[in-house]
Structure 1
Amino acid sequence: MSRKSIRENLLKAGDQLVWNTGYAGTGVRDIVEAAGARPGSFTNHFTSKEDFVIEVLDRYFAYVSGLVEEALGDRSVRSVDRLRRYIDLITGKLADADYSRGCMIGNLSLEASFDNERLRAHLSKLFATWRGPFEACIAEGLEKGEIAPLGSAAELADFLLSAWQGAMLRMKVDRSPAPLATFRTIVFSTVFDGGKHA
């Protein structure tokens, strides 16, 4: 097996482990075993578990960024409808996982905020990058009067992503789509109401 395929197998196996057991619960030995790799192979490709998990996160973020572009990229669609499209698209992905997985970035943020400064800083950077396309979409909506001017585009993008992360957290606890539906109903009848506030 080539070095490239061993590395890929480690990342794929680790991705599943990080989803299932989080950062603290995922050990290097577990990753190697799940990948069917030889003991010691991990250190041939990664300098630490931290580096490994950051790469897993970056791969996940690339996937999420594709979903963001799919939902928000068509500027011929009203900004609020693009935001709604994103929420609906992600809700479908969450349903496919029986409302048990949530968001890897949000999941790891709960762990990394206290005892791993490098991972915490990387997650913070991902959230800031993630905000960008939402901020641009919301700025269009503010300019066209489709979104209530309750803050700047950056503040409203932060609010949207933070509140959505909270809804997903509650969804995981309850194993129910109800928190997602409540979030969608309230946020699109208040701040992102399509201009009905005007």
Structure 2
Amino acid sequence: MGRHSLRERFIESGVMTLHQRGFFGVGVREICAEANAPQGSFINHFGSKEAFAVAVLDRYFERTEAIIAATLGDDTRTAMDRLTAYFDVITDALAGAGWRHGCMISNMSLEAAEHSDLIRGRLEQIFASLTQHFSAGIRAAQAAGSVRADLDPDELADVLLSSWHGAMLRMKVERSSKAIDRFKRVMLSTLLIPPASEPAPNPGHA
């Protein structure tokens, strides 16, 4: 039980530490200090800093999946509302952090994927899972007639998520909501437009 608790302490502390300071921005000694744990126990539990980062990514993604379940998986909402609700919930979290830390999945992709096949492989799996969730949501919205049906839902989900993660990285640079606002204003209104049989009102006419 003690070993399990110590591992949990490392992971819980690591979610905050790696999210805020990045994979290369913190060393094993600092990770142990943040977790208030002896340095020797780090190797016993994880073997390497890369394996630790994967465990932290797993915990972070568990929380992301909980948000997905509460938004994309909420069948009390319309199919389109489920899609937009996910982005709204994440936006609130980003705002709460002062637009500083972004998404750990995006951050780790930019920082560590080139240097670690172990981390890159896990990130690839995470992105595949995210795309699958959004593809299902888009497919449901297409069936409901609220999203254009002329695009493949898998490709649409991939483009949407790539744009979203790019916006979060740009947000960190600007330290503002501008990139997030642009994503919602432009991407959601162009990629997820209503079917051609339901044209948008002409603003030039009353």
TM-score normalised to structure 2 length: 0.89
- Aligned twin of 1:132: 132
Q: Is the 1:148–1:197 contact (alpha carbons within 8 Å) kept by the matching residues of 2?
A: no
Q: Is the 1:7–1:45 contact (alpha carbons within 8 Å) kept by the matching residues of 2?
A: yes
Structure 1 residues 134 and 197, CA gap change in structure 2 (3 angstroms): farther
Instruction: Output the CA distance in 2 between the equivalents of 1:31 and 1:181.
Output: 34
Report deviation, 1:25: 2.1
Instruction: Output the CA distance in 2 between the equivalents of 1:99 and 1:141.
Output: 30
Instruction: Give the SS at the match of 1:98.
Output: coil
Structure 1 residues 3 and 76, CA gap change in structure 2 (3 angstroms): closer
Q: Is the 1:29–1:39 contact (alpha carbons within 8 Å) kept by the matching residues of 2?
A: yes
CA distances 1:102-130 after superposition (whole Å, capped 9, x unpaired): 11000000012322112111101110011
- Aligned twin of 1:78: 78
Q: Is the 2:51–2:118 contact (alpha carbons within 8 Å) kept by the matching residues of 1?
A: no
* RMSD of Structure 2 on Structure 1 (CA): 1.7
Instruction: Give the SS at the match of 1:115.
Output: coil
Instruction: Output the CA distance in 1 between the equivalents of 2:64 and 2:194.
Output: 25
Please show how residues 13-24 of structure 1 align to structure 2 within 5 Å: 13-24=13-24
Q: Which sits farther off after the overlay, 55-64 or 21-30?
A: 21-30
Q: Which sits farther off after the overlay, 24-33 or 104-113?
A: 24-33
Instruction: Output the CA distance in 2 between the equivalents of 1:58 and 1:173.
Output: 26
- Aligned twin of 2:9: 9
Structure 1 residues 197 and 87, CA gap change in structure 2 (3 angstroms): farther
Structure 1 unmatched runs, 5+ = none
Please show how residues 74-153 of structure 1 align to structure 2 within 5 Å: 74-153=74-153
Amino acid at match of 2:3: R
Structure 1 residues 96 and 196, CA gap change in structure 2 (3 angstroms): farther
Instruction: Output the CA distance in 1 between the equivalents of 2:111 and 2:129.
Output: 20
Instruction: Output the CA distance in 2 between the equivalents of 1:47 and 1:181.
Output: 41
Instruction: Output the CA distance in 1 between the equivalents of 2:19 and 2:75.
Output: 33
Q: Percent identity?
A: 41
Q: Is the 1:10–1:35 contact (alpha carbons within 8 Å) kept by the matching residues of 2?
A: yes
Report deviation, 1:22: 1.2
Instruction: Output the CA distance in 2 between the equivalents of 1:39 and 1:120.
Output: 26
Instruction: Output the CA distance in 1 between the equivalents of 2:87 and 2:4.
Output: 36
